[in-house]
Structure 1
Amino acid sequence: MILPLALRRMLPPLGNQWIISIKDTSLFIVIGVAELTRQGQEIIAGNFSRSGNLERRSGLLFDYYAGAELYFASS
């Protein structure tokens, strides 16, 4: 008897929290990708001799951020 009453009261705040989590994580990814690609482009433009290494580093940073984002979003 208590579970249906508690579930009815818990559902709206849980839904709001889920929506906030989705919005925050998507904003993080958009800002992170834009920032990483812009920084990579600026570094490559100033230093052509090591551009492949810098592209790999910015790609690894993006993978790290995306992995951390998925980890925290799923927990």
Structure 2
Amino acid sequence: MSPSDRLEKTRQKMQEYQENGAKLGWLINRKQQQIEIYRWHQAVEILEHPNQISGEEVLPGFVLDLTSIW
């Protein structure tokens, strides 16, 4: 999310991406230090201040280090 984005509007975009076939999406909310993980046909998972997130099966071996973002 950019500082000018509204959370609800961004969540709607994430849902739209899923409806269009995205298998994995991350909504990075710096202000609340949360990551919302959107997975194909699953409930949204919210992580509080994680140090890293992985690409899971969609991007095997990919890890995003979040320590510099927080």
TM more than 0.5: no
Structure with more helix by fraction: 1
TM-score normalised by structure 2 residue count: 0.30
TM-score normalised by structure 1 residue count: 0.28
Bigger CA radius of gyration: 1
Structure with more strand by fraction: 2
* Structure of greater relative contact order (alpha carbons < 8 Å, 6+ residues apart): 1
